[in-house]
Amino acid sequence: MPDYFEALIDELRIVSNSKQDINLHSIYFGGGTPSIIPLSLYQQLFDRMNEFFHITPDCEISIESNPSTLSTQYLKDLKQIGFNRISLGVQSTNDGDLARLDRTHNVWKVLESVENVRMAGFDNLSLDLIFGLPWQDLFGWKNVLSRALVINPEHFSIYSLIIEPGTPLYSWYNRGLIKAQDQDLEGDMYELTIDLLAENGYEQYEISNWNKADDKRDLRCCHNMQYWLGYPYLGIGAGAHGFAAGCRTINTPTIEDYIKKYRKTSGYSSPYPRTPSQISFKKIDLQTQMKDFMMVGLRLTKEGVSEDRFFQLFGKTMKEVFREEIARLIQQGLITWENDEKNRLHLTKRGVMVANQAFMAFV
How much is the pTM?
A: 0.93
Tens digits of per-residue pLDDT, 105-153? Answer: 999 999 999 999 999 999 999 999 999 999 999 999 999 999 999 999 9
Q: Note whether 298 and 304 are within 8 A (CB).
A: yes
CA distances from 191 to 104, 131, 138, 219, 250 (A): 29, 12, 11, 22, 35
| Percent of the chain whose predicted confidence (pLDDT) is above 70 | 99
Q: Note whether 75 and 116 are within 8 A (CB).
A: yes
Mean pLDDT of the chain: 94
Q: Report pLDDT for 332.
A: 96
Q: Report pLDDT for 148.
A: 98
Report the amino acid identity of residue 294. Answer: M
How far is residue 119's CA from residue 102's CA, in Å, rounded to a whole number? Answer: 28
Give the strand pairing for 202-206 and 155-160: unpaired
243 - beta bridge partners? Answer: 233, 248
> Which residues touch 349 (CB under 8 Å, ≥6 apart)?
none
Q: Report pLDDT for 265.
A: 79
Question: How far is C-alpha 267 from the chain's CA centre?
Answer: 34
Q: How confident is the model at residue 327 (pLDDT cuts 50, 70, 90)?
A: very high
Q: How confident is the model at residue 340 (pLDDT cuts 50, 70, 90)?
A: low
Tens digits of per-residue pLDDT, 156-210? Answer: 999 999 888 888 888 888 888 888 889 999 999 999 999 999 999 999 999 999 9
Asked whether the CA dihedral 251, 253, 257, 259 is positive or negative, the reply is positive
CA distances from 118 to 111, 125, 142, 219, 310 (A): 11, 9, 25, 16, 40
| Domain residue ranges in the chain | 66-226, 293-362
Is the per-residue pLDDT at 102 higher than 80? yes
From first CA to last CA, the distance across the chain in angstroms is 40
How far is residue 116's CA from residue 71's CA, in Å, rounded to a whole number? Answer: 6
Residue among 29, 340, 343, 354 nearest 207 (CA): 354
Is the per-residue pLDDT at 342 higher than 80? no
What CATH number labels 66-226? Answer: 3.30.750.200
Where are the alpha helices (H) located in 19-131, listed in sequence order? 39-52, 72-81, 95-100, 107-119
How far is residue 348's CA from residue 301's CA, in Å, rounded to a whole number? Answer: 8
Is the per-residue pLDDT at 62 higher than 70? yes
How far is residue 336's CA from residue 348's CA, in Å, rounded to a whole number? Answer: 6
Tens digits of per-residue pLDDT, 266-318? Answer: 778 889 999 999 999 999 999 999 999 999 999 999 899 999 999 999 999 99
Higher pLDDT, 363 or 205: 205
What CATH number labels 293-362? Answer: 1.10.10.920
Q: Report pLDDT for 165.
A: 85
How far is residue 109's CA from residue 90's CA, in Å, rounded to a whole number? Answer: 9
Is the per-residue pLDDT at 341 higher than 80? no
Residue among 353, 359, 349 nearest 298 (CA): 359
Tens digits of per-residue pLDDT, 26-48? Answer: 999 998 789 999 999 999 999 99
Asked whether the CA dihedral 138, 172, 179, 176 is positive or negative, the reply is negative
CA distances from 163 to 72, 139, 179 (A): 33, 22, 10
